[in-house]
Amino acid sequence: MRLNLVMTYRASRIYSTEDARLIARRRLPKLIFDFVDGATGREIGAERNVSQFDRIMLQPRVMADVTQYSLKTELMGKSYKLPFGIAPMGMCNLVHPKADITLANAAKAMNFPVCLSSAASTSIEKMAQAAGSQAWFQLYFGASAESSLAMVERAQVAGFDTLILTVDVPQVSRRVRDLRNGFKVPFSITPRVFWDLATHPRWSLGTLLAGAPRPMNFTDSTGSNTFDRDASRSGADWSFMEVLRDKWQGNLVIKGLTSAEDARRVQSLGADAIYVSNHGARQLDSVPPAIRLLPLIRDAVGPDFPLLFDSGLRNGEDVIKALALGANFVMLGRPALFALGADGADGLHALLKCFETDITAVMAQLGVSSISQLGADAIFDDNAHKNKSGNKNKGSLTASQKNLK
Residue 314 backbone phi and psi in degrees, to 5: -130, -10
> What's the distance, Cα to Cα, between the start and end of the chain in Å?
53
44: Cβ contacts below 8 Å, ≥ 6 apart: 281, 285, 286
Residue 349 appears among annotated catalytic residues:
no
SS3 percent helix, strand, coil of the chain, rounded to 5, is 45, 10, 40
Q: Are 55 and 401 in contact (CB under 8 A)?
A: no
Computed on alpha carbons and rounded to an integer, the radius of gyration of the chain in Å comes to 21
Would you say how long the chain is, in residues?
405
Indicate which residue of 200, 279, 349, 385 is catalytic: 279
Q: Are 348 and 307 in contact (CB under 8 A)?
A: no
Residues 262, 264, 267, 269, CA torsion sign? negative
Q: Which 3 state secondary structure label does DSSP give 387? A: coil
CA torsion 352-358-361-363 (nearest 10°) is -90
Beta strands in 134-246 (DSSP E): 135-139, 162-166
Q: Are 140 and 118 in contact (CB under 8 A)?
A: yes
**Which residues have a catalytic role annotated?**
279
